[in-house]
Structure 1
């Protein structure tokens, strides 16, 4: 159990020492500069340009090496909303991708979210199937309506604000 805790401490220490919060690189959201998102043992770096992203990635790599952590270039992926050249770090080529999974959501280079909407509709259908026997009983009662509202609707509309 100690190993994951130590990794998290080292990763947090490394990210703080990169001083990415102070960097001007990143994307602007609600007048704030966002250049990294962390979740578990993954970090997503974001930038407006290829040069900015390379700068951020090199800062993370350099700070990681100071505490004996190595950037896994096989797991590092690059995604851009526009054309991108081949990426290399220390003579190793980074794979470019058209999409990736972040917080259980598929992020695509073109911003398409139709797959997420379809997935939630399928989950809603599955939830309806799970309570099908109750719903098919002859008694159409208010509790059935409450059941659908409590079980099915939240599954279908979960995360819908991000679909816009």
Structure 2
């Protein structure tokens, strides 16, 4: 069942996620992004441009996905919410400790680790955040072959780039 849902959601992912995100994409891998960074570095040298990188790895990224924000994001992207909300709505948990069991509590964050569906949800979630930071329109980055490149992503790893420290900080 999840495989069918994932195939449906993947259609949206393929339309919404740009090429700079290689994580959880068929035929793409970390080697592609490493090669891209190497190529960008070589082109910067060739054209005598400075290039600065900032590498970010988000800790416990899947655990930080807020469900209410995710539902809003999916709705804003035109993705039918019934594809996902039934998997997460009304989830509760309890924790067993050395002192007994806690009361039941609502789970409002996180996508399921190891679930075939979660990478798609995570990519859509992070893409929405990137779009709303204005990063795609930002002038920071480096122009190569007429294209401004200011970030590369692989799942929860993001590389920002700019031609100066000041640009990178902005």
Fold shared by both chains (TM-score > 0.5): no
TM-score, length-normalised on structure 1? Answer: 0.31
Could you state the TM-score of these two structures normalised by the residue count of structure 2? 0.30
**Highest relative contact order (Cα 8 Å, sep 6+), 1 or 2?**
2
Compare CA radii of gyration and give the structure with the larger one: 1
